[in-house]
Amino acid sequence: MATVSFWGGVGITGSSKVLIEDHGWRILLDLGLDRPHTQFYHHPVRPREGNELHDRLKVGDAPWIPRLFRNTAVMGTGLEGGSDGKTAVFITHSHVDHIGLVGWVDPSVPIFAAPETVKIRHALTASGRAHQTDPTFELIFAEKVMLEGQEPQIITMNEQDSLQFGPFNVTRYRIDHDVPGASGYIVETDQGRVAYTGDIRLHGRHPEWVRAFAEAAAGSEVLVIEGTTLGTKSRETEHPATEMQLDQTFATVLTRTQGLILMTLRPRNIERIESFVEIAKTFGRQILWSKEFATFLSAYGLHVETIDFGMRQIHDIQSRPAGYIVQMGSKEIPWIMDLPLGPTSVFIHADGDPRLSSPAGRSLQAWLQRYHVGLRTLGTTGHASPDAIHRIVDWIKPQVVYPLHTHAPELLQPNPPTIRVIPDYGRRYPLG
Ligand SMILES: [Zn+2]
Ligand SMILES: [Zn+2]
């Protein structure tokens, strides 16, 4: 009898882990860091270097799944390590709550993911190595943690590739989220199909990919869907702007700004980065990227210009402020002192570091106020609105839907005859 169980993302936003089992064979969908892992390891308290998985398992901050992790990584925890030869891992995307523990997986357990996910993982490794001695690197990417363990051998799976693993057939579909390579999977078992969305949205650049996934998944016995925005009451999550609207707003801000522009955004939202680079070009502006961003983006394969804040570069910016946009993270903020800024400038906050509500965000706003620079926020979420979540469920019309990756699973209320089940952590639910 095939079963499905949940080892993360239960009642919390993030860290989804879906285990499908049949006759001793296992498919694990996603293997990220647990949230809130901060309960025991709030920055700067960290698990001990080299023993991170051990230190997380000991306090219940990692999934207790036997025969998955390397023996050396779980030694002393009581959890059985090594491989049973009947387990495979599939990753939906490169956010740390979905991929963060793969460095601990036993090398004989195969791990599959989209080519873009593998590329981002490698780019992070490259930039991680370049900035290993820099303690602020972790804050800027907030995810140095994803480089825990050893460099994993991830097997790339193209869009709509299927593979047979024991009694399972697994197919990868591209879906839309705020990172390239985002995937959904459909796992066929003898007792029916399990469709898993990973993180998903309808207001990104590729809603048609979500539609195609929903069509492929239509009538599945089980749907596991993320529910991040359920229970959040804000305009940004209930009526999120589309990425295309952000492009337009970005262009409008560029039209209206005569002076130097400062900007922050997220390194892994690569499609937005590419789009902003192109839009900036049409306005005769070049984006200068901080060292960390530039290393990461170059390792991913983009050609970008780095800001080094050298005398010559600062002189160039001072003589032609309308020719540049300077990307700034928390660490670069004091350079505001040396840049030609004032009321004709603007700081564009497009979802990056620092978050405006954080202490560093308050620092940023104090700097902007002191130098009379306006702030323009333009961002959107990587997660489907509550309405869009319900629409996707309605398109698929599964027999059973499990809301995951949400604080408020009870707010998913599908139309009949679909049944919603709020999962318990680690409990096995039979299929069919
Ligand atoms: Zn997530
Ligand atoms: Zn995500």
CB 82 within 8 A of CB 67: yes
Structure confidence at residue 138 (pLDDT): 45
- Measure 405 CA to ligand 1 centroid, in angstroms: 7
Rounded Cα distance between 32 and 96, Å, is 6
Give the tokens for residue 74: 């779980």
pLDDT in tens, 85-138: 999 999 999 998 999 999 999 999 999 999 999 999 888 888 776 554 444 444
Distance from CA of residue 132 to its chain's centroid?
A: 22
Question: For residue 175, which ligand has an atom nearest its CA?
Answer: 2
Taking the CA atoms of residue 238, residue 241, residue 242 and residue 244 in that order, the dihedral angle to the nearest 10 degrees is 170
CA distances in angstroms from 96 to 16, 155, 310, 319, listed in the order given: 11, 18, 34, 41
What residues contact 134, with CB distance under 8 A and at least 6 apart? none
Query: How far is the centre of ligand 1, averaged over its atoms, from the C-alpha of 223 (Å)?
Result: 17
Query: For 245-285, how does the pLDDT look when each residue is reduced to its tens digit (9 = 90+)?
Result: 999 999 999 999 999 999 999 988 999 999 999 999 999 99
Q: Is the Cβ–Cβ distance between 217 and 223 less than 8 Å? A: yes
**CATH entry, 3-232+383-430, from 3.40.50.300, 1.10.3720.10, 3.30.470.20, 3.60.15.10:** 3.60.15.10
Per-residue pLDDT band at 400 (split at 50, 70, 90): very high
- Tell me the residue type at 42: H
First to last CA, the chain: 9
Q: Which residue has the tokens 């907030």?
A: 142
Counting ligands in written order, the one closest to the CA of 181 is 2
Domain 241-377 part of CATH 3.40.47.10: no
Q: What percent of the chain has pLDDT over 90?
A: 82
Q: What is the mean pLDDT of residues 199-219?
A: 98
Q: What is the pLDDT of residues 9-28, one digit of tens each?
A: 999 999 999 999 999 999 99
Q: Average pLDDT over the chain, rounded to whole?
A: 93
Q: How far apart are CA 424 and CA 326, in angstroms?
A: 47
CA angle 118, 122, 124 (to 5 degrees): 115
Residue in 154, 204, 199, 195 with CA at minimum distance from that of residue 172: 195
Alpha-carbon radius of gyration of the chain: 22
Cβ neighbours of residue 277 closer than 8 Å, sequence gap 6 or more = 287, 302, 304
Question: 98 alpha carbon to ligand 1 midpoint, in Å?
Answer: 6
Q: What is the DSSP string of 238-283?
A: HSPPPHHHHHHHHHHHHHH--S-EEEEE-TT-HHHHHHHHHHHHHT
Q: Say if CB 68 and CB 106 are below 8 A apart.
A: yes
114-123 tens-digit pLDDT: 999 999 988 8
For the chain, give every domain's residue range. 3-232+383-430, 241-377
The answer to whether 343 and 279 are in contact (CB under 8 A) is: no
Chain centre to alpha carbon of residue 240: 17
Ligand nearest to the CA of 382: 2
Q: Is the pLDDT of residue 37 over 70?
A: no
Q: Is 97 left (phi over 0), alpha (psi -120 to 50) or beta?
A: alpha
Interval between CA 16 and ligand 1 midpoint (Å): 7
| pLDDT tops 90 at residue 43 | no
